Amino acid sequence: MAENGTDCDQRRTGMIKEQHNGNFADSSLLGERKRRDREERLNIVLWRQPLVTLQYFFLETLINLKEWTIKLWHRRSILVAFLLMLAVLTATYYVEGRHQQYVRYMEKKFFWCAYWVGLGILSSVGLGTGLHTFLLYLGPHIASVTLAAYECNSVNFPEPPYPDQIICPDEEASDGSISLWAIISKVRLEACMWGAGTAIGELPPYFMARAARLSGAEPDDEEYQEFEEMLEHAETAQDFASRAKLAVQNLVQKVGFFGILACASIPNPLFDLAGITCGHFLVPFWTFFGATLIGKAVIKMHIQKLFVIITFSKHIVEQMVSLIGAIPSIGPSLQKPFQEYLEAQRIKLHHKSDSGVPQGENWLSWMFEKLVIVMVCYFILSIINSMAQSYAKRLQQKMYSEEKTK
């Protein structure tokens, strides 16, 4: 009897070991297959497989249009209310009357705010290249207003041409120097709108991680996969980057609203991780978005505005140009273009002829425009590649489900 009991225990142990080994082998094979499928999807790009990429892009576009149409049909009451409101606004816009001056004012403000909100959203996605639109648009705009305010001793620039062009007002400037608060107030609207756009741009990582947690599906996103790996190896993390990411994740998870506010209020390249963390741990939407909006559109934007305004204040700029001229040997040759540029700006501000504007500025504007065009083109290409890869993932998932049903 004892021998029979021992034999049964040994057979049971052997069966458990075989089952465990089989599960381990299946999981390793599944992981290897997912890795191969991911590599295959990443090869679907316009410069490698142009015909396949375009075909998959158009098919994915049709599928998305069908899904959005079904969603709109299910919310047709909201759609009808929106169309009625749009019809009322259109009639108000085209019907003549005394209200037209207010309509034009609201139209101008709406498009001005929409422009900066759009740039803020694009800043969060980096135009597909990781480049910050603050450095390309908002920072130079604040710097131009600051330089003009100190030169004109006023911020009451004529509208129009402001904001397309800045010129000094015709009336005599008031005695005394321009205040820092006046410059901050002049650029507050566009800065806050840009900050609100960056807050809106942080929502996709949050929604992606939240949907993945609720559905149990594994999203095709490198940052989310990196986040899950970080959670698995949290105790063994040694390098500085991993520790910094863990610190952000712990702050957001444990402190909640004020932790998110702290991460959003300072220049933080790891904030995408905060959005993924909030989505993964099912932090309520308004807790995440409210803290992000206050941090980015109010606190962080005032910090960035102050930095740019102080950096481009009149005495700081003059000191920087003087320091450039003090560099041995090459100082005077480097100093001359800056002096010519500043003098050209003064001529423009005081309504003088554009003949004094150096040609180098035109080349600079031309190069900037071409850089923006190249970035926008690359951004469009990245969208086409991403949608084509999404359709390829649909085909792979369909293949998985067909194999399971066999």
Q: Report pLDDT digits (tens) over 345-373.
A: 676 766 644 444 444 445 656 776 777 78
Say if residue 227 is in the same domain as residue 267.
Answer: yes
What's the CA gap between 138 and 295, in Å, rounded? 18
Say if residue 148 is in the same domain as residue 235.
Answer: yes
Q: How many domains does the chain have?
A: 2
Say if residue 220 is in the same domain as residue 296.
Answer: yes
What's the CA gap between 406 and 243, in Å, rounded? 46
Full DSSP string of 240-301: HHHHHHHHHHHHHHHHTHHHHHHHHSS--TTHHHHHHHHHHTT--HHHHHHHHHHIIIIIIH
Asked if residue 160 belongs to a domain, the reply is yes
Chain centre to alpha carbon of residue 254: 25
What's the CA gap between 274 and 173, in Å, rounded? 47
Q: Which residue has the tokens 């425009």?
A: 369
| pLDDT < 70 regions, the chain | 1-27, 30-31, 126-132, 171-176, 216-249, 268-272, 345, 347, 349-365, 368, 406
Say if residue 206 is in the same domain as residue 238.
Answer: yes
Domain boundary among 260, 282, 312: 312
User: Residue 268 has what pLDDT?
Assistant: 66
Asked if residue 386 belongs to a domain, the reply is no
Say if residue 79 is in the same domain as residue 136.
Answer: no
Q: Which residue has the tokens 């497989």?
A: 49
- For residues 39-57, one letter each, b for 16 or more C-beta atoms within 10 angstroms of the residue's C-beta and e for the rest, the string is eebeebbbeeeeebbeebb
* pLDDT tens-digit map of 72-92: 899 889 989 999 999 998 888
Say if residue 215 is in the same domain as residue 297.
Answer: yes
Using alpha carbons, select from 195, 190, 183 the residue that is nearest to residue 112.
190
Using alpha carbons, select from 267, 265, 266, 263 the residue that is nearest to residue 276.
263
User: Residue 18 has what pLDDT?
Assistant: 47
User: Residue 357 has what pLDDT?
Assistant: 45
Domain range enclosing 75:
59-95
Asked if residue 325 belongs to a domain, the reply is no
Using alpha carbons, select from 275, 270, 301 the residue that is nearest to residue 288.
275
